[in-house]
Amino acid sequence: METKDEAAAREKFRVEKNKYLRGRLSPSPERKREIVRYFLGEREYETADFNGMKDSTLEEICRIAAEDLYDEFGPERLTEFFDTPMRTRETDSTSWYARNWYVVWEYGYRQAILALTAGKDDHPPGAERFHLACHLCMILLLHGDEYRQETGRKYLQTLARRGSEEAKKLVESGSGKIAPDVLRCQDHLVTCAANDILNVVDLKTKEESEAAYRTMLDYLIRLIQAEFPKEYHLKFNSKEKTWIRGIPKTPAQVFWNNCARYPALFPRMREYIRAIRISDGVAGSDVVSEYYRDASDEAAVPVGGYAAFALGLADPSHGDIVVEFMLHNDEEHALAPNHFVLAYFDKFGIHPENMEPVLACILNINENEARPRGKIAGLDDAPTLAALLLAISRYELDGYDVSRIVDYLWGGREKLAKAAKKAEDGKKEHLARILALVEE
């Protein structure tokens, strides 16, 4: 039977444990180990509120579990503990925690990986410790957002350098999630290979031809449909190089601009863009929030952007692709689309037939970046101005949106007013009506 002293000690421990888990108490290192030992031993992690736990507390629990209690509980119990967010995702797919578990767990995983692979007394970690560390890396890679995927990738590469054979195999061959015949493709014209761990796609072609680019396009479509990371880094080289001014001079831009030289490949390019859009989960008013990792953050191109830019500039009949891409552009963070819009206006100008993509471009780019290089062709034509007024009415644009249009096309309200005064009678009325719609 429990004595009063034992009951008091048990209650004291319970109170200290709960305060520690809520981040309201910082007990001694030994007491922390006792709490984590109890937490793991009684499987309290199955019902714990990790969403309400302080990040620093969860980090400590993960570190202590991997560093001090691995030998006591073994890899199976620790794997069960670290898989907690995966079980939550299976049973609750709607809560913030279930959808953003990696925000809570990432640093805990980091601490555990470091503890598992630290080694003791100059002895390298054993295969079982390496295996658990690899498992944590793969959770981040396969289930985290793009930033946590990069964390998992870097740590896995570190494990490979530390001597983990499992990590080396993953780095060299990929996760195994995608079939080998999807990851690799070779014929008499091209050699294609991809690694979903390194997030790299390597394309090689023996000739510049429609057939070669068709094969490479089909390969990329299959990759994306197989859930290959869409923000991949493309390796590609060609003697034929064309650039869109202001867009990063990357192998990806070369590849997609070269694809656009062959009109017969336009349907395939559209299919690739649709595959990227579907895999990105873009719907309604959502923005594309993932970027290719082949340029700095400021210059990075949104996923699908290189293909959309090349196709949009290849022929004005692809205005619907331009509209769809721009409507989902993250104008606050994505700057590359501004340069595409400049190239679009330089090549096609403005006319009644392309008014929808024109408005989609102007209203969905960063307002503080890249402005037109001189007067845009077609802007002074009466039919164009009439079509602009009609579009403003049809899309029920407010004064703020009209102000953005006027700022971009004419350089502001005052310049538009001057242009209206000097305009011929056929255009004066249109310009005056546009001016009247501008937000004061």
d(CA 228, CA 200): 10
| Percent above pLDDT 90 for the chain | 69
Domain boundaries, the chain: 12-173, 180-378
Region class of 314: left (phi > 0), else alpha (psi between -120 and 50), else beta? alpha
Q: What is the DSSP string of 300-343?
A: PPBTTHHHHHHHHHH-GGGHHHHHHHHHT--TTT--HHHHHHHH
Mean pLDDT of 369-380: 82
106 membership: H or E segment, kind and range: helix 101-116
Instruction: Give the tens place of pLDDT for each residue, 96-134.
Output: 888 888 888 999 999 999 999 986 656 678 899 999 999
Q: How confident is the model at residue 45 (pLDDT cuts 50, 70, 90)?
A: very high
Q: What is the pTM of this model?
A: 0.82
Instruction: Give the tens place of pLDDT for each residue, 187-244.
Output: 999 999 999 999 999 999 999 999 999 999 999 999 999 999 888 999 999 999 999 9
68: helix, coil or strand?
coil
Candidates 239, 256, 130, 152; CA nearest to 196 is 152
